[in-house]
A and B are shown apart, each in its own frame.
Chain A
Amino acid sequence: MNDSPYRETLELGCKLKDQVLEPMKRAFVGKDEIIDLLGVSLVARENLFILGPPGTAKSALVQDLARRIEGQVFDYLLTRFTEPNEIFGPFDIRKLREGDLVTNTEGMLPEATFVFLDELLNANSAILNSLLLVLNERVFRRGRETRSLPTLMVVGASNRLPEDDALEALFDRFLLRVRCDNVSPEELSNVLAASWQLDFGPEDDGATVSVEGVRRLHGLLRQVDVAAVRSDYVELIHRLRHAGISVSDRRAAKLQRLMGASALLCGRLAINRTDMWVLRYIWDTEEQQDVLATIVKDALEKADEEEKAESHPRARGTEAPDPEHLVRSGADCEPIRQRRTAQERTNVPSGSAQLAGVSMPMGRGSAAAGAPRIPSQFVARADGRFPVNEVWAVCLSRVDADTLARLRSRHGLEVCEQQDLVWLRGRGMDEDLDKRLRSLPGVRFEVLSDRQLVPNGCRVPRGYLPDGSWIALSEAVCIEIESPALGAENKGKVDVGLVRGGTSREANLLLTTVDAWSAYADTAPQVRLQHLAFAMNEARDILIRGRPLPPLPGTRLVEQNGVAVPCGWTWAPAVDAAVLRDLLRLEPDDLALLHADGTWDHLRADDFVLASRSAARLTLEGAGHE
């Protein structure tokens, strides 16, 4: 199929997946499912509905996708009173004077390639009809004015599902639906790190797939062959209908486009049974999600091994993570963590579980000694910037061998041990591989046909590639779960206590009484309350968190990375707050209050409520005060 006249366009599908969607997954922790659905919706030119609370990166995902392919975004928050001018643009006054009713659409929805409509279900009757036309036909109509839109995809978001008929019609235009929730507590620190990179990190080198490329994929979608799975697809639709899930003929027909998009993203021009995974996301209610997942899973299991080998990552099940991706992302974030030394383990409470790490037992594997195996399949850039067949090698010190783990998911790479050195070799180059090789702490060589090594930037060969035992990198690097037991003698715990001192910082916590707090909140200005949260303990002490703190009597504390001490105090030994968090076994959003008498209080994020007059009054009532 790759030799077909469509080969070049077909490669765009793979590029979109590997060079746009995969980097997005690394940037947005825990959003793989949504990013995959954005990908198929983009290629199928369909609309995606995202159900989820505010602050879960819905808008940022669309903005980022648009940025990566240099598309133009129209991002708008709909309110009950949003009027057509706000979305489609005002009437052009100059032309109106001439008697023409023309809309000035500059910077508005009709000129955007990506449309993100937040709080979609706030859409009112004034904009509903125009929106339906945009969603259905990619056409903008106002009065006598009708024009085709360049819109590639529309993403709608809301934190609820529709309840009335008018909005049902709007919701129906979104073929795929997906939930977007806050990430699990375990992933939160990764999100924070990734969002830091997102906001302040360096820009990427530039688009590898452009808007024009996506349009070529749209054109290619018509060539995708659906015949091989038609009977299975019809059977699946019947099963869904029998299970009470409404799939109209129109939707069933349109879903084929999404299956075709899944195939294109995998570099295929024929839909196979694994592409039916997209049907997991056609639910109307949250209750239908499990039913769909079960029925679609049954259908996917009928796929043979050949089909599974070429399947979309999302077709590999919802429960089990994609093993390739797991390794890839794990290696990117934390390349091969060494086991802790006995000394480093001293402060870890006995029996605590360690995180899974990756270790790399070099030389282990099943490759037979003898003639080196040179990989035969490589990815090449379409523009030929990188050599396709050139053999290259990188030489690293054995102590840096761990860094090779980040390349484990690349096919066709081999490693060889030679005394204190480790060699990596492969054939061909692409942009991604080039970047990854440059990040390795080793020397890079071009390998001539007689195995002579020419260092990069030099012309004269300097030695030969070793003729030892080469094994595949993926076999040489394996994942091991570290033992939860201590691997060394426990030297005993170090006591942590408070001592006078510490840096001068503004307090952000105040421990006071419920009476003082409620008297303050009773008459306090809203602007002073809205930046605060508070919690109450069984002794009816109130802990207020935020800035500026209210002018109330009590103990002021200063917080550092979730560990708080009274002002003028610090902890000793002076370890990092993160170490204390580990020691106290705090969850990511937990707060520890260390007291001078050696005791400490443990507060969870949900112990706090946002400060308001009503919250303070109800707390006072609950505390039994009159």
Chain B
Amino acid sequence: MGYPQFLENLFEDGRVVVSEIRPISAEELREGDEILAGFDCRNRLELPAPVPQFQKAAGRWAAEKFFLACQFAVYRDEPAETVDEKLSGSLKGPIASEDHYSVDLVFRYLPDLMRFAASAAEEDPLVGHLRGWAQEWPLSSVGMPEVKDVAIEGFATHPSLLQLYADRIIATGDTSRLSDLRAREAVQASLGLYPDLAPTINAALKQSEEVEDTTS
């Protein structure tokens, strides 16, 4: 299964089969861009307004890296040097909110891939790279307990992405993300007068309030 088919299956049913590792052709990249753009159109309907613009370069970077990471997760006889060489490097240029959104189109599946890779070998170099991405792209890594102290400056000023972040924190019960004041306020606003909708989160919010009262 090639790169475009991989993306299509990932978005359609969340179940993928990967081909052997080979370079992605220009034609495949073009097809992949179209699939990403199509998924962006569908995904926008589900996001809180105002939805950021899709950035093709950021989306493609994330899709290529994720495809490779899935291949390395399956083809385990690839040497560690190759894994490092192919997965190293970050998205070039200044990172804007739109880039966080575009990368998240594919990286939202990062927690699943992390679980899969870590269950095979905890110390695999691949797992190290996935952990790095999780740290770098906090919007996508909500619900990964091993990721701590993330910086959300990249998207915290964007109301839609901050709401999406709060939605994910509530859905996964990831209380570690409440250490950031902006995230905490967004979660509190989401629950409003109905904290019982998320009892675990509510307990954590209360606890952090008590800590703040004590320190002040």
Please give the residue numbers on chain A whose beta carbons come within 8 Å of chain B beta carbons, in ascending order.
Answer: 80-81, 83, 85, 122, 522-528, 531, 548, 612-614, 617-618
Residue-wise interface mask of B (55-69) relative to A, using a CB-CB cutoff of 8 A (1 in contact, 0 not): 000000000000000
Q: How many residues from B make CB contacts under 8 Å with A?
A: 26
Q: What CA separation (Å) do A618 and B46 show in the bound complex? A: 11
**A-facing residues in B19-67 (Cβ within 8 Å):** 45-49
Can you name 21 A-B residue pairings with CB atoms under 8 Å? A80-B15, A80-B112, A81-B115, A83-B120, A523-B159, A524-B48, A525-B189, A525-B191, A526-B167, A526-B170, A526-B171, A527-B167, A527-B170, A527-B190, A528-B192, A531-B197, A612-B46, A613-B46, A613-B47, A617-B45, A618-B45
Q: What CA separation (Å) do A440 and B141 show in the bound complex? A: 64
Q: Are B163 and A81 in contact (CB under 8 A)?
A: no
Q: What CA separation (Å) do A569 and B77 show in the bound complex? A: 72
Q: Are B170 and A614 in contact (CB under 8 A)?
A: no
Q: Are B14 and A613 in contact (CB under 8 A)?
A: no
B-side contacts of A523, CB under 8 Å: 48-49, 159, 163
- When C-beta atoms are compared, the residue in chain A nearest to B42 turns out to be A614
Residue from B112, B159, B194 within 8 A of A548 (CB atoms) = B194
> B116 on the interface (CB 8 Å rule)?
yes
Q: Are B197 and A527 in contact (CB under 8 A)?
A: yes
Q: Provide the main secondary structure of the chain A interface.
A: helix
> B151 on the interface (CB 8 Å rule)?
no
- When C-beta atoms are compared, the residue in chain B nearest to A121 turns out to be B15
Give 14 A-B pairs besides A81-B115, A81-B116 with Cβ atoms closer than 8 angstroms.
Answer: A80-B14, A81-B112, A83-B119, A122-B15, A525-B163, A525-B189, A525-B190, A527-B170, A527-B171, A531-B197, A612-B46, A614-B45, A614-B46, A618-B45
A-side contacts of B47, CB under 8 Å: 613
CB of A515, distance to nearest CB on chain B (Å)? 14
CB of A90, distance to nearest CB on chain B (Å)? 11
> B166 on the interface (CB 8 Å rule)?
yes
B-side contacts of A526, CB under 8 Å: 167, 170-171, 190
CB of A123, distance to nearest CB on chain B (Å)? 11
Residue from B48, B191, B194 within 8 A of A613 (CB atoms) = B48
- When C-beta atoms are compared, the residue in chain B nearest to A614 turns out to be B45
> B198 on the interface (CB 8 Å rule)?
yes
A-side contacts of B170, CB under 8 Å: 525-527
| Given A80-B15, A83-B119, A528-B190: A522 in contact with B49 (beta carbons within 8 A) | yes
- When C-beta atoms are compared, the residue in chain A nearest to B186 turns out to be A525
Q: What CA separation (Å) do A548 and B48 show in the bound complex? A: 19
B-side contacts of A527, CB under 8 Å: 167, 170-171, 190-191, 197-198
- When C-beta atoms are compared, the residue in chain B nearest to A548 turns out to be B194
Residue-wise interface mask of B (146-159) relative to A, using a CB-CB cutoff of 8 A (1 in contact, 0 not): 00000000000001
**A-facing residues in B152-183 (Cβ within 8 Å):** 159, 163, 166-167, 170-171
Q: Considering residues A80, A83, A522, A525, which has the most beta carbons from chain B within 10 angstroms of its beta carbon? A: A525
B-side contacts of A614, CB under 8 Å: 45-46
| Given A80-B15, A81-B116, A85-B119: A525 in contact with B45 (beta carbons within 8 A) | no
CB of A529, distance to nearest CB on chain B (Å)? 9
B-side contacts of A85, CB under 8 Å: 119
Q: What CA separation (Å) do A83 and B112 show in the bound complex? A: 13
Q: What CA separation (Å) do A526 and B160 show in the bound complex? A: 12
Q: What CA separation (Å) do A122 and B46 show in the bound complex? A: 26
CB of A91, distance to nearest CB on chain B (Å)? 13
Q: What CA separation (Å) do A607 and B185 show in the bound complex? A: 36
Closest 5 pairs (CB-CB, A-B): A525-B190, A614-B45, A526-B167, A83-B119, A522-B49
Q: Are B167 and A525 in contact (CB under 8 A)?
A: yes
B-side contacts of A612, CB under 8 Å: 46
CB of A547, distance to nearest CB on chain B (Å)? 9
Q: Are B191 and A522 in contact (CB under 8 A)?
A: no
A-side contacts of B194, CB under 8 Å: 528, 548
Q: What CA separation (Å) do A522 and B160 show in the bound complex? A: 10
CB of B36, distance to nearest CB on chain A (Å)? 19
CB of B108, distance to nearest CB on chain A (Å)? 14
- When C-beta atoms are compared, the residue in chain B nearest to A81 turns out to be B116
CB of B156, distance to nearest CB on chain A (Å)? 16
Q: What CA separation (Å) do A227 and B76 show in the bound complex? A: 54
Q: What CA separation (Å) do A166 and B163 show in the bound complex? A: 41
- When C-beta atoms are compared, the residue in chain A nearest to B169 turns out to be A527
Q: What CA separation (Å) do A441 and B46 show in the bound complex? A: 61
CB of A31, distance to nearest CB on chain B (Å)? 29
A-side contacts of B14, CB under 8 Å: 80
CB of B86, distance to nearest CB on chain A (Å)? 22
Q: Are B49 and A525 in contact (CB under 8 A)?
A: no
CB of B122, distance to nearest CB on chain A (Å)? 12
B-side contacts of A81, CB under 8 Å: 112, 115-116, 119
- When C-beta atoms are compared, the residue in chain A nearest to B113 turns out to be A81
Q: Considering residues B46, B115, B198, which has the most beta carbons from chain A within 10 angstroms of its beta carbon? A: B46
A-side contacts of B120, CB under 8 Å: 83
Residue-wise interface mask of B (186-209) relative to A, using a CB-CB cutoff of 8 A (1 in contact, 0 not): 000111111001100000000000
- When C-beta atoms are compared, the residue in chain A nearest to B193 turns out to be A548
CB of B48, distance to nearest CB on chain A (Å)? 5
- When C-beta atoms are compared, the residue in chain B nearest to A85 turns out to be B119
**A-facing residues in B69-115 (Cβ within 8 Å):** 112, 115
Residue from A80, A522, A618 within 8 A of B48 (CB atoms) = A522
B-side contacts of A522, CB under 8 Å: 48-49
- When C-beta atoms are compared, the residue in chain A nearest to B167 turns out to be A526
CB of A614, distance to nearest CB on chain B (Å)? 4
Q: What CA separation (Å) do A531 and B192 show in the bound complex? A: 15
Q: What CA separation (Å) do A225 and B181 show in the bound complex? A: 75
A-side contacts of B197, CB under 8 Å: 527-528, 531, 548
Q: What CA separation (Å) do A525 and B193 show in the bound complex? A: 13
CB of A78, distance to nearest CB on chain B (Å)? 12
Q: What CA separation (Å) do A531 and B171 show in the bound complex? A: 13
CB of A92, distance to nearest CB on chain B (Å)? 18
Q: What CA separation (Å) do A401 and B52 show in the bound complex? A: 74
CB of B41, distance to nearest CB on chain A (Å)? 11
- When C-beta atoms are compared, the residue in chain A nearest to B191 turns out to be A527
A-side contacts of B159, CB under 8 Å: 523
Q: What CA separation (Å) do A81 and B117 show in the bound complex? A: 9
CB of A522, distance to nearest CB on chain B (Å)? 5
A-side contacts of B189, CB under 8 Å: 525
Q: What CA separation (Å) do A548 and B192 show in the bound complex? A: 11
Q: What CA separation (Å) do A618 and B41 show in the bound complex? A: 13
CB of A484, distance to nearest CB on chain B (Å)? 48
Q: What CA separation (Å) do A528 and B115 show in the bound complex? A: 29
CB of B199, distance to nearest CB on chain A (Å)? 12
Q: What CA separation (Å) do A405 and B171 show in the bound complex? A: 53
CB of A300, distance to nearest CB on chain B (Å)? 40
Q: What CA separation (Å) do A390 and B48 show in the bound complex? A: 76
- When C-beta atoms are compared, the residue in chain B nearest to A83 turns out to be B119
CB of B164, distance to nearest CB on chain A (Å)? 8
- When C-beta atoms are compared, the residue in chain A nearest to B74 turns out to be A125
Q: What CA separation (Å) do A525 and B112 show in the bound complex? A: 24
Q: What CA separation (Å) do A527 and B186 show in the bound complex? A: 12
Q: What CA separation (Å) do A527 and B189 show in the bound complex? A: 11
- When C-beta atoms are compared, the residue in chain B nearest to A164 turns out to be B17
CB of B178, distance to nearest CB on chain A (Å)? 15
- When C-beta atoms are compared, the residue in chain A nearest to B45 turns out to be A614
CB of A621, distance to nearest CB on chain B (Å)? 10
Q: What CA separation (Å) do A122 and B14 show in the bound complex? A: 11
CB of A50, distance to nearest CB on chain B (Å)? 21
B-side contacts of A83, CB under 8 Å: 119-120
